[in-house]
Structures are given as C-alpha cells and as structure tokens.
Structure 1
Amino acid sequence: DTGAKIHMHLLETPYQAEYARRRTGQSALKYIDKFGLLGPQLTIGHGVWMTEDDVDLLAERGGCLCHNCSSNLRLKSGKADLSSFLSKNIPIALGIDEAGINDDRDMLQEMRLAYTLHRRPGHSSLNPSAAEILRMATEHGATSTPFFGKIGRLEKGLFADVLLLDLHSLAFPYQDFDIPLLDIIVRRAKRKSVDTVIIDGNVVFNKGRFTRVDEDALLEEISNVLSRAKTPEEVELRELSEIIMPAVKNFYSGWY
C-alpha cells in the first residue's frame, strides 16, 4: 500500500453501466470492490449511473466522488443524483472534465450550475445549499488530490491558497445584503468577479492579469499551433473515424 490516490472515470454513461452488467454480472462498482479499489484513496469521476446499492457501498468504503455537472450535460451522459451522495455524507468534489458548457473552464459558473440543476421542486431539504456547493469546489475538491489535508481550507498550517472576489462586481447595480454572502457568491460570481488569486502565498493573478505568464502571448502561440493544416496522418485518422462510427453506433444500438 503506497497510499497513492486513484482517480477513475466510472459509470459516466448508461453504456458503461450496461457493459459492466453484461461483462461481470454485477455493477461496475461492486466489481472493482472485489479488487480492493474502493476506499478513501479512490475518487470516482462522474458516477452518474450508480445505483442506490452502489451509493451505499461507496459511502461504506469511504470513497470520494467528482461531480462534472456541465460535462455530463454537454455530452448527454445524464445527471448524477447529487442528493443521494449528500445524504450519505460522501465527499463530493466539483470538476469540469475539460468539457464545460462554455469552453471557458469557469469554476464559478460550474458552482452555480450544480447549485441550480440539483434543486428540486417545492421545499425539499435535499436541495444542495450554497455552503455545500462551495465545499465541493474547495475542501472536498482537495479530498480527491494527494494534497488533502494541506489545501482546501483557510487554516493555519495549510498552504495559503486564496481567491479574492470583487464585491462591487458581485453587487452592482444592486444587491440585498440580507441575503447570505455565500448565496450571493454562488448565485452571482463570474470570472470577471475574480480580483486576486494566491497560491501557496504567491500572487499569481492580480487585477485581471496573470503575474507569471504572458497570457496574450501564450494564447497567440496556442492559436498558431492549433490553426496549422492537418498532417496526412491526422487526416487519415479523421477519415477512419468517420468510417467506423456507423459500426460503433450500430453495435450499441438498443443497449439503452
């Protein structure tokens, strides 16, 4: 046992759930549990198609879940039952999975989307609170990394990781401050609201600009590299994918 953290994409789509059932005769979660993979060292990415028994098993073993709300919507994977995980006190991290809705990797927007999407009609107590959503993006996000216990909270002895928001940006043109500040942050904060980012005590973003990299030059370089003509090998792979895709769709037709 090296204590290494494991991050595993699991049960993101209904096809994965059905494949596990057909291949192993049980759920994917129960199958990997046979090999001792479930436990505090494991973070499950997605978990959209976990059953109630799966959720109970994950809670019993002490694993973490990484919820990728906008990615799951964008890729038509489904919607994870966030309230089930919360009710079992399973640590839930918040991620984007490189497939956010707006291609801008805005974690503040991701918080708002998760907060809004999982609210149930009526006055259900199962609706995630703003505090729970913030914890998903901070403390529980840290749970899924090797830095757990060193980051994720503002506390003496931990790394000084701080994000400062511009209150004027949040409140303009008007904000009733009888509403709890956490609710205001989750409901209204955007990328433009970020004033300063500090990592381990070092200011890396200040007043809208990165302090250690030339963002404009970097983006220009990326644009130039990715705008080049495709190589013959890349063209061949693209054509091959177009040829085999109908067969792939036909294979999975009727699985779900």
Structure 2
Amino acid sequence: MSVTIAVERYLPTPGHAPALRDVVVTAGADGLAVTGNSVAGPGLLALPAPVNAHDHGYGIRPFDFGGLDDALEPWIPFMRLRPPTDPYLEALVAFGRIARSGCGATMHCHNSLNVATLVDQAGHVVRAARDVGIRLGLSCPLLDDSPFVYGGLPQLLPGLSAADCTRVESLAPTYAPIAEQIAAVDAIAKAHDSEMVDVQYGPIGPQWASNALLEAIADASARTGRRIHMHLLESPRQRAWLDRRFPQGVVKFLDEIGFLSPRLAVAHGVQLRRDECELLAERGVILASNPSANLRLRSGVAPMEAIRAAGLSCAIGLDGTGFDDDQDIWREMRLFHLLHGGRGLEPAIPTTGIFDAAILRGAAVVNQAPARDLVVVDYAAMVEDAMFDDLDEAQMLLGRMTAGQVRGLVVGGRTIIESGRLVTVDFEVAHQELVAQARAAAAKLGHQRDNARFLSEVVRRHYAD
C-alpha cells in the first residue's frame, strides 16, 4: 500500500538541504521516496511527518473541566475532574487532533491508575489509534505512592484538622502489587505490540514510585527489551524532594539500578543539572521536551545549554496542551526554537536541530523507524506576500507554519488527511458525542469539584510552608 503525491517542494531532510522542486513523492509502508517529476502540485510542500513525543491523550482538555494553568502540584488534584466518558471516544478525539496537526505518531501516556481496567482501556486506546491511522507509543502507568504530595500522605497531614485529615485519607488511591502492575503491561504488550503500536512501561515519575517499583521496571525492561517512558524532574519541588530522598541524586540512583539505557525516554527534565545531562547522554537516554507545558505549569525552562553541551538527545512533545491549548506541534516547535535560541549572533539550536528533534528523535521515542510518514502543507499560504522564491523553506516552516495549513498526511502508506480533512474517521461527530458525554457527566461532579479544590489548597499550603 502506498500513496503518490505531486508537490512543488519536498524537504526530505528539513534544514539540512534546500527543497527539491516539482517532484512526485511516494509514501509507502517502507518509507518515503522521490519517484518522478511533476508540475502538478503548485503551492504544496511535503516533508517527513513530525512525532508528538509526549502526550496524555486529552479528548476533553483540562481547561474544559476546570484544570486551569497553575503550579504543577496544586494543579494535579483537578485531574480528578476528568469526566467519565467512553475511553475509545476520548482517545479517538485526542488522536484526531494530533493527526490534524500533521503528526504521524504520538507517545500516549495513559491516565488511568486502575490496574483492574487498564488492560481493557488499552484495547480501546489502540483501536482509536488504528482507526485514526497514526502510530502509537503507549506508556502504561505504573506507580505505588501518593500523587497528592511527595513522600506520601504522612507528609501532608500535619497541621490539618482531624476532619481534614480524614477527608484527605478518604481520597487517597490504593495501588495494586508491583508484580500485578508489571504483568498488566506485559499482557497489553502481548495483545497489542505491532508495527504501528509500541507498548512501554510508564512509571509516572520517581517521586510517585518506590525504589522497589523502579527496580522492578528496570529489570522488566532489561528482560523484555521493552522501552520505558517516564516524567523526570519537572518542577522545582520535585527537585527539592528527590534531592532529600536520593542524596547521591535521583539520576545517579536510577543508573545504579540499571534504569538508564537507550530504551528510556524521559519527559520535561526542567530541573536537570549538567552532570545529570551528561550521565543521561552517556546512557543513550532521550529527553522529550515540553516547553509549553513547562511554562503553563510554572515549572520553568529546560536547561538547554547544559542539555546540548552534554549531547543529550531531545524530542518535542505537546503534553496534551500546546501554547494556545490547541495541540499544534508546529507552534510547539516554534516555541522550542525561540525559547532556546540563545542571545548570540548564531542560534543556539540550528534549524536542523529542531526538525531532527521533532522527526528523528520523536520516532525513536515511539520505537519507530524515522521519516517514514509524510505531511503535506500549504506552503503557498505561508509565502503569499514573499518577494523572493528562494527563501529557506525550513525556516519559513519554523516561523509561520500552523496545524491549519496541513493539507495531507500519509502514515504507513495510508492517507489520513486529504485536502486538509481527516478522512479516516468523522472527527466532528466524535467530538460532539464526546463533549455531550462529558457535559452529561458534569452534573455528577459537584462533590468531586469540592474535593479537587480542597486538595489543591491543602497541597498549596503544604508546599508554601
């Protein structure tokens, strides 16, 4: 199965060389190739599709259920307000947005903490990715410590009234045994690993995992060869608490237990130190950077100078947000480009570095061969006022491209976007049904809203003290 598209410009390696002109590009299951010349594609530019290297598959986005931007720790309790909707429909809408942005693949960090339903929900998520037509990295959540506060509930209770202590304790989740959690991921992998789907271990973060769980995941990854995808050192409060828990440093601890390897990708890394960047790079780890989310949750800006100096590979992920809450990978690439451009006469990260992060490193995060899928964009709209015809196409994309200019997407030889429209599923109908389900559930969330506000303020006071 393959698709042939005539384009005016083709960038097989964006930033590394100028575009080829007036060519026919064939996008098949085995990758991309120029297969002829043509003048039938005026105004269109094609390039390998970027990858969303870290996301959470929000069909209903946090803003819509009250999870407004805040510092990370008091923001987390509002995730309790995610409305109960059809998991297939939730994933379908989330993946539809990502495809319409022009991404050929996404790393989906699943949000369920219930091992009893995880295997079933994973099936719905995989089916949604297959129906939309994008490649999927599926990070299955693993944790065994309180998500409310680092160090567990005993850290949060001092200073609370007896009634508030009881209320907090009643809201605390319970966790399945470590072996049961690992077994659930292995079962999902056995059922769903394929050319288009890569199931991965997903410890949510070392601050929410016991040493025993982290060691079990490291052993399981070494035994199975399965990748690991994990949040790491996102907020200043994580840095402070992990430094107390691991005097040698959390990254050094992870290395001591065999957790660090080329099978690992970590998200955020905002609080990484230079020596930690060097160790991660030495072990072949990839960092999935999320500049919009880092800013919106007040975690800060990733230490890109240290990351680049260490040679730590970077990918780019939307984390379910985007700068305008729009899941636009191109705007995220632009923010990454501008935020980390430095103040020198030359950009700290060249154009090649941005596209390599979004395309090549992103593919590695989801365990796929790079540059196999094709996105087609309306280049004429970007340069409609341009006075010259020889402008650098890659720089124009970084400066002006948005999801709204995506005209085509071919993944694995299958047409996903055609003439600017998602053709594999009816996105509008699915979106309307998902919103209807969410609003129908909203009336039952009043008590949960009270609990979310209560927990958020308790957590805020804890860290303020």
TM-score, with length taken from structure 2 = 0.50
Q: Which residue of 1 aligns with 2:364?
A: 143
Kindly indicate whether residue 464 of structure 2 is the aligned counterpart of residue 253 of structure 1.
yes
Q: 1:189 aligns with which of 394, 401, 405?
A: 401
Instruction: Tell me if structure 1 keeps the 8 A contact 2:274–2:310.
Output: no
Aligned-pair CA distance for 1:81: 1.7
Kindly indicate whether residue 354 of structure 2 is the aligned counterpart of residue 133 of structure 1.
yes
Aligned-pair CA distance for 1:146: 2.3
Structure 1 residues 24 and 88: alpha-carbon distance in aligned structure 2, compared to 1, 3 A threshold: closer
Instruction: Tell me if structure 2 keeps the 8 A contact 1:17–1:27.
Output: no
Higher relative contact order (CA 8 A, sep 6+): 2
- SS, match of residue 459 in structure 2: helix
Q: 1:95 aligns with which of 311, 317, 322?
A: 317
Q: Which residue of 1 aligns with 2:110?
A: none
Instruction: Tell me if structure 2 keeps the 8 A contact 1:83–1:128.
Output: no
Structure 1 residues 224 and 91: alpha-carbon distance in aligned structure 2, compared to 1, 3 A threshold: same
Q: Which residue of 2 aligns with 1:213?
A: 425
State how far apart, in whole Å, the 2-side matches of 1:61 and 1:95 are. 21
Q: Which residue of 2 aligns with 1:157?
A: none
Alignment of structure 1 residues 115-130 onto 2, 5 Å: 115-124=337-346, 127-130=348-351
Q: 1:82 aligns with which of 304, 311, 315?
A: 304
| Structure that is richer in strand per residue | 2
Q: Which residue of 2 aligns with 1:203?
A: 415
Aligned-pair CA distance for 1:229: 4.7
Q: Which residue of 1 aligns with 2:194?
A: none
Aligned-pair CA distance for 1:231: 4.8
Aligned-pair CA distance for 1:190: 1.1
1:149-201 CA-to-partner distances (Å, cap 9, x unmatched) read: x2x22xxxxxx410111220221122644432211111111112211100001
| Number of aligned positions between the proteins | 243
State how far apart, in whole Å, the 2-side matches of 1:100 and 1:161 are. 22
Moved more, 107-116 or 17-26: 17-26
Unmatched 5+ stretches in structure 2: 1-222
Structure 1 residues 247 and 26: alpha-carbon distance in aligned structure 2, compared to 1, 3 A threshold: farther
Q: 1:243 aligns with which of 448, 451, 454?
A: 454
State how far apart, in whole Å, the 1-side matches of 2:248 and 2:311 are. 24
Q: 1:61 aligns with which of 283, 287, 305?
A: 283
Q: Which residue of 1 aligns with 2:240?
A: 18
Unmatched 5+ stretches in structure 1: 154-159
Kindly indicate whether residue 255 of structure 2 is the aligned counterpart of residue 44 of structure 1.
no
Instruction: Tell me if structure 2 keeps the 8 A contact 1:20–1:28.
Output: yes
Radius of gyration: which is bigger?
2
1:38-83 CA-to-partner distances (Å, cap 9, x unmatched) read: 1101001010000111011111111110000111111111100223
State how far apart, in whole Å, the 2-side matches of 1:240 and 1:86 are. 42
Aligned-pair CA distance for 1:230: 2.4
State how far apart, in whole Å, the 2-side matches of 1:42 and 1:12 are. 16
State how far apart, in whole Å, the 2-side matches of 1:121 and 1:176 are. 28
State how far apart, in whole Å, the 2-side matches of 1:175 and 1:9 are. 45
State how far apart, in whole Å, the 1-side matches of 2:387 and 2:301 are. 31
State how far apart, in whole Å, the 2-side matches of 1:170 and 1:19 are. 47
1:54-113 CA-to-partner distances (Å, cap 9, x unmatched) read: 011111111110000111111111100223222332221100111222121000111111
Instruction: Tell me if structure 2 keeps the 8 A contact 1:74–1:100.
Output: no
- SS, match of residue 96 in structure 1: coil
Alignment of structure 1 residues 164-175 onto 2, 5 Å: 164-174=376-386
TM-score, with length taken from structure 1 = 0.89
Q: Which residue of 2 aligns with 1:7?
A: 229
